[in-house]
Structure 1
Amino acid sequence: MDRRTFLRTGLAAGVAATAGCFGGDRPEAANEYGYETTSTDDGVEVPLVPLDDAIEWYREDDGTVFADARSPTAYQRAHIAEAVLSPAPDGQDGEDPLADRSTDTRIVTYCGCPHHLSAMRGGTLIENGYVHTYAIDEGFNAWIDAGYPLAGQAVEQRPDVYEIRGRTDATHAGEYAWARHDPTGQREAVPINENGTFDLEIRFYDVTRDSDIRLTTPAAETVQPLGQLLGSVVRL
């Protein structure tokens, strides 16, 4: 019996019966298949669906909704075919495409980092009662690498990858560091480590080393050309 079959038998039924209930004052993820989880800074445990299972759900066409948690710019360039745009953490201003969905809907969020923004969005959805929400563990770039269906204006374009290493006060461990390109609205986030360090991997479209990037932690903020943020530890 393989892992997926095992999870879908008695063990999965037991998990679904207990984990989908309300914990304290807010819902908890149903996590029917017993996946590993990641915790948001609000303490919500978001199940991480492996890419192999996510593509199976996609192909089953069983009403599962895929939701892109990145920026509108990134979504317009390339996204999972038929996915809706619902940016982290709270979705689109005004009428979010998930707002009129039944709370019984299975929702799969994704981003490229590989699952920080998608976990944020997933956490908010779970708090709002969408307990059958999952984030793709390996992220959008793994979906692209696997050759799975895409849509958008520039599906062949792959943005350059840059790594920003930083450090802030360790009291902010578990909170988020952000990198933003304000002209296009693209942004990336990563949890701060227990020692205050963080490593932000950014994949922004049409951004060069001369582009201004706004780097933010709960303690401070700086705006600098990307090239100046690379190669050394940025202290905020």
Structure 2
Amino acid sequence: MQRRDILLGIGIAISGCLGTSENNKYEPDLDPFDGYPPLPTQIPPQQIFDPTTFDVAKVNSQTIPLAPLKTVYNWHQRGEARFVDSRSQTQYERSHILGSILSPAPSGIGSSDPTSDWPKNDRIVTYCGCPLHLSTLRAASLLNSGFTNVYVLQDGFWEWHDRRYPLAGNDLNLAPKIWIIHGKTDPSFSGKTVWIRELQSGQVEATMIQTNGEFKSDIRFSNISLTTPISIEAPHRTIVSPLSSLIDTTIEI
């Protein structure tokens, strides 16, 4: 397999329901802040992988390997990685990968972030729903702070969710509709990040400005409608408009 380079511009733990499509059972999570999932009663054989074949994302001067879903799932089932959810608290509370901690992009939650006392050489997997923008921003920040073994879940959270891999949260069956946000700004901002937020709940996505000034994001915010105010934050300007005026068009910002 030939590796691709993907150029991108860019603690909390809760109890709740457990969801999985398997007949596996899981041990209690004795430390919900360590990012390790509780082990299943049936642990699969170790998968051999070659990280040099992984696609990579280049973000903030860091090169981040994008680990395939199959590999990440094997790490999860064997307790061989710590998992970091890079989304908002609202999104995390509704559903997240079993055992993961909340550490939002780009830089977590400061000195109280659960990752602050993790060993720097432990394997960490970040993920988001974009499926790569928030997770790669958080991964780059972890690498910049001295961590050496950081990966991003290439397929993103929703692929994990749709396969009914192990989840926790208070609304595991929720699968929000996809809304496409497309816009254009000054090409001089190429490589910078555009943040898209639902202001009331704090749900957030992010995307990169391309060389021609265009940006695009598929957002999956829960419990929103066409009248919900959405914030689009470009490097130089922020607009807030109802969702209905941001879809099926090209936003000039």
TM-score scaled to structure 2, two decimals?
0.79
Instruction: Give CA-to-partner distance per residue, 1:65-95, whole Å, 9 cap, x none.
Output: 0010000000000000111111001112441
Does residue 50 of the first structure (1) align with residue 79 of the second (2)? no
Q: Which residue of 2 is the match for residue 86 of structure 1?
A: 103
SS at match of 1:215: strand
Q: Which residue of 1 is the match for residue 58 of structure 2?
A: 39
SS at match of 2:136: helix
SS at match of 2:180: strand
Does residue 184 of the first structure (1) align with residue 187 of the second (2)? no
Instruction: Give CA-to-partner distance per residue, 1:194-231, whole Å, 9 cap, x none.
Output: 10011111111111110100101113211000111111
Q: Which residue of 1 is the match for residue 19 of structure 2?
A: none
Q: Which residue of 1 is the match for residue 172 of structure 2?
A: 155
Q: Which residue of 2 is the match for residue 74 of structure 1?
A: 91
Does residue 221 of the first structure (1) align with residue 238 of the second (2)? yes
Q: Do the aligned residues in 2 keep the contact of 1:168 with 1:219 (CA within 8 Å)?
A: no
Q: Which residue of 2 is the match for residue 12 of structure 1?
A: none
1:136 CA displacement: 0.5
1:145 CA displacement: 1.6
* Structure 1 unmatched ranges of 5 or more: 8-31
For 2:142 and 2:192, the matched residues in 1 are separated by 19
**1:6-17 pair list within 5 angstroms:** 7=50
Does residue 112 of the first structure (1) align with residue 129 of the second (2)? yes
For 1:5 and 1:159, the matched residues in 2 are separated by 34
Task: Give the AA of the match of 1:44.
Answer: Q
Instruction: Give CA-to-partner distance per residue, 1:93-113, whole Å, 9 cap, x none.
Output: 441111110001110000000
For 2:242 and 2:48, the matched residues in 1 are separated by 50
Q: Do the aligned residues in 2 keep the contact of 1:70 with 1:88 (CA within 8 Å)?
A: yes
Q: Which has the higher contact order (CA 8 A, sep 6+)?
A: 2
Instruction: Give CA-to-partner distance per residue, 1:145-202, whole Å, 9 cap, x none.
Output: 2220000000001112100110001111111111111211111101111100111111
For 1:89 and 1:196, the matched residues in 2 are separated by 22
SS at match of 1:159: coil
Q: Do the aligned residues in 1 keep the contact of 2:49 with 2:71 (CA within 8 Å)?
A: no
1:34 CA displacement: 4.5
Q: Which residue of 1 is the match for residue 5 of structure 2?
A: none
Does residue 199 of the first structure (1) align with residue 222 of the second (2)? no
For 2:174 and 2:95, the matched residues in 1 are separated by 8
Report the RMSD for the aligned CA atoms in angstroms: 1.3
1:140 CA displacement: 0.3
Aligned residues: 207
Task: Give the AA of the match of 2:223.
Answer: D
Q: 1:149 to 1:117 in 2, by over 3 A?
A: same
For 1:111 and 1:162, the matched residues in 2 are separated by 16
Q: Do the aligned residues in 2 keep the contact of 1:68 with 1:79 (CA within 8 Å)?
A: yes
